[in-house]
Chain A
Amino acid sequence: MSNDIFVWVEQFKGQVTGASWEAIGTARGLADGTGGSVVACVFGGEGVEPLAQEAIAYGADKVLLAEDETLADFRVEPQAALLAKAAREGEAAVVLIGATFRGRDLAPALAVELDTGCIADCVTLELEDDQLVATRPIYAGKLLSKCIIPERRPQIFTTRVRAFPKPEPDSARSGEVVEVEPALAEEDIASKVTGFNETEGGVSLADASIIVSGGRGVGGPEGFEPVQKLAQTLNAAMGASRAAVDAGWIPYDHQVGQTGKTVSPDLYIACGISGAIQHQAGMRTSKVIVAINKDPDAPIFKLAHYGIVNDLFKVVPPLTEALKEKLG
């Protein structure tokens, strides 16, 4: 058994997700403590080769690179088979995977394949007396659980998106790139990707450093217009509360909360959102929370750092103008 930490590098259309760089940064920190190497696994279609150097710049010592059509669109079977093979042959001590949709999909298959434990959605990961200890939220973040994988190897962890710092890339770093072959042939893969419809309006909630969300207070689909203008000005992703989604004002893809997406941006601006505990579960770890709501007793003001008690339609347009002026 080596001390090596393997990191699965997730990419979509040749763009690596922030969660993967965060995982590499975390792996780098741990490997520096244990004396192991950081091995980045870049498995994709034709044209992902430049990502290998990027992974090195972010902290990998070695990159396993597979370029094959079977790996172009994400599917669990070929990714899990190759990652398991690599982890087995490299005697990985740890495998880190960003807890994105794809990562959460891949991790359990890998754990079963390697007959080992997987601690999902970690928010901290530290070495205590030679044992990796992870903390993860349970019951919608109402409680935290410390978890360990005492015996089985490798230990698999999925890291919550934006819970770990993203390292600064250093193009002067050097590392080894090893080409590997896919573990499955196309005829051995039961699922086929037949299409992809990208969400309109660009910025993904998971990766966004700023999220502007609207709730019941926006009053209808047209009420999202000023909220969207504010989001565009800040290059932010658009979020929504369950109330707004259930009312049919905005698609479910935008929902933040226990029954939607869990986000952790630098700035979360809640417009007309009362802040039910289920909504808070999805955004409470945001660094700075701003609440705009006309109800001074709304629970969101208990969680927010800054609040404006006023009608969002009176506040959001001038706020958008003020930001445009300041940010150019």
Chain B
Amino acid sequence: MHIVVCTKHTPDSGAKMSVDDVGNVSWGESPLIINPWDEYAVEEALTLRDEHGGKVTVISMGPEEALEALKHAVAMGCDEAIRIWDDACASSDTLATSYVLAKAIESMEDVDLILFGKSAIDAETWQTAGAVAHRLGYPSLMYTINIAALDADGKSIVVERLLEEGRQEVSSSLPAVVGTTKGINEPRYTSFIGIRKAAKMEYPLQTLNDIGAEVDKVGAAGSGVRWPQVFAPPAREGEAEIIEAETVEETVSILVEKLLAEKVI
């Protein structure tokens, strides 16, 4: 089985984000890491590979910083890693990014399954995986919390998807695009051997030419969305009004009165 995991790099989730007067976003001294959601996708790919045989290729569209994500995925155990980039790809929205990723996947051989994290913690659009699925004409199985069955020879998969009201069980043919969510597994830590392997590994760069992508379908030219302004939200003023009374009964009754006055109960 050939499994492809799509990943990206993001600032650490604890990073203090700021933006300057001209709209440049900064994450201070925080490191760039693999998008935390993608670790679930990598873990699932490795588990499936070990069970069904085959290989896992991790790919990322991004400048050199994207190597952070690829290296982490390789250190976890992925077999191959490919970075796709061209300066023309800058300012790509999800429409353009999904075009590049779909072209890259099309240029590979015998891909059975494509895995994504449920979203990326930077832009949090939750859009790229579904867009890639639609471009490839494959079923999109987002928010998967359990792969209940997978038949590599019969080319079929059964997953449980997490929706608002509960879990939907869906079966489909392969290839398919699966968006993983937390709860599907517990991502492994990288081992010392894994980190050494990742450090020695080669990370071939593929250009638009290599994957057969057209330059006017990537970057700003290939995007529908522009984001002319990024700004910090206004800070909430003050701290909580601490409710204190002689007894806990009095305290809670004051709180109930406050909530009634706020008209929220």
Within 8 A of B (CB), among A137-171: 137-152, 155
- Asked if B93 lies at the interface with its beta carbon under 8 angstroms from chain A, I say yes
Q: A288 to B229: give the CA distance in the assembly, Å.
A: 29
CA distance A322 to B257 in the complex (A): 10
Contacts of A205 in B (CB 8 A): 164
Asked if A112 contacts B134 (CB within 8 A), the reply is yes
Q: Check if B248 sits within 8 Å of A288, measured CB to CB.
A: no
A109 in contact with B227 given A140-B124, A191-B172 (CB within 8 Å)? no
Q: List the one stretch of A51-59, A62-70, A216-224, A307-315 in contact with chain B.
A: A307-315
Q: How many angstroms between the C-alpha atoms of A305 and B236 in the bound complex?
A: 10
Check if B244 sits within 8 Å of A118, measured CB to CB: no
Question: Could you mark each residue 110-128 of chain B with 1 if its beta carbon is under 8 Å from any beta carbon of chain A, else 0?
Answer: 0000000000011111111
Q: Are B93 and A117 in contact, CB atoms less than 8 angstroms apart? A: yes
- The CA of A314 and the CA of B251, in the complex, are separated in Å by 11
Across-interface contacts of B153 in A (CB, < 8 A): none
User: Which residues B114-152 have CB closer than 8 A to chain A?
Assistant: 121-131, 133-135, 138-143, 145
A225 CB within 8 Å of chain B: no
Check A191 against B171 for contact (C-beta < 8 Å).
yes
A1 CB–B CB distance under 8 Å? no
How near does chain B come to A142, taking the closest CB pair, in angstroms? 4
- Chain B residues whose C-beta falls within 8 Å of the C-beta of A253 in the assembled complex: 162, 166
Interface residues of A: mostly helix, strand, loop or mixed?
A: mixed
- Which residue from chain A places its CB closest to the CB of B247 in the assembled complex? A318
Count residues of chain A with CB under 8 A from any CB of chain B: 96
Q: Does A119 contact B (CB under 8 A)?
A: yes
Q: In the complex, what distance in Å separates the CA atom of A93 from the CA atom of B168?
A: 33
**CB of A28 to closest CB in B, whole Å:** 24
Find chain A residues with CB under 8 A from B228 CB. 146, 148
B22 at interface, CB cutoff 8 A: no
Inter-chain residue pair count (beta carbon < 8 A):
266
A199→B255 contact, CB < 8 A:
no
Pairwise interchain contact A307-B243, C-beta atoms closer than 8 A = yes
Q: How far is the CA of A207 from the CA of B164 in the complex (A)?
A: 9
Minimum CB–CB distance from B80 to chain A (whole Å) comes to 26
Q: Which among B10-18, B49-57, B197-205 touches the partner chain?
A: B10-18
Cβ B95 vs Cβ A112 within 8 A:
yes
Give every chain A residue within 8 A of B37 (Cβ-Cβ): 259
* Residue on B nearest A326 in the bound complex, by CB: B256
CA distance A209 to B262 in the complex (A): 13
- Do the beta carbons of A190 and B125 come within 8 Å of each other? no
A299-328 to B contact mask, C-beta < 8 Å, 1/0: 001111111111000110011001100110
Q: Mark out the residues of chain B between 209 and 265 whose CB falls within 8 Å of any chain A CB in the assembled complex.
A: 223-233, 236, 239-244, 248-249, 251-253, 255-256, 258-260, 262, 264-265
Complex alpha-carbon distance, A310 and B247, angstroms: 11
Q: Is the CB of A77 within 8 A of B139?
A: yes
Would you give the shortest CB distance from A318 to chain B, in whole angstroms?
5
The answer to whether the Cβ of B64 comes within 8 Å of any Cβ in the partner chain is no
16 more A-B residue pairs beyond the given contacts A111-B95, A149-B226, A323-B265, with a C-beta to C-beta distance below 8 A = A12-B164, A75-B170, A104-B130, A109-B133, A120-B124, A139-B122, A142-B16, A147-B225, A251-B183, A258-B13, A278-B13, A291-B240, A302-B239, A307-B242, A308-B255, A309-B244
Query: Would you mind naming 10 contact pairs between A and B with Cβ atoms under 8 Å apart?
Result: A108-B98, A116-B95, A118-B94, A139-B122, A143-B231, A148-B226, A190-B173, A253-B162, A267-B265, A319-B256
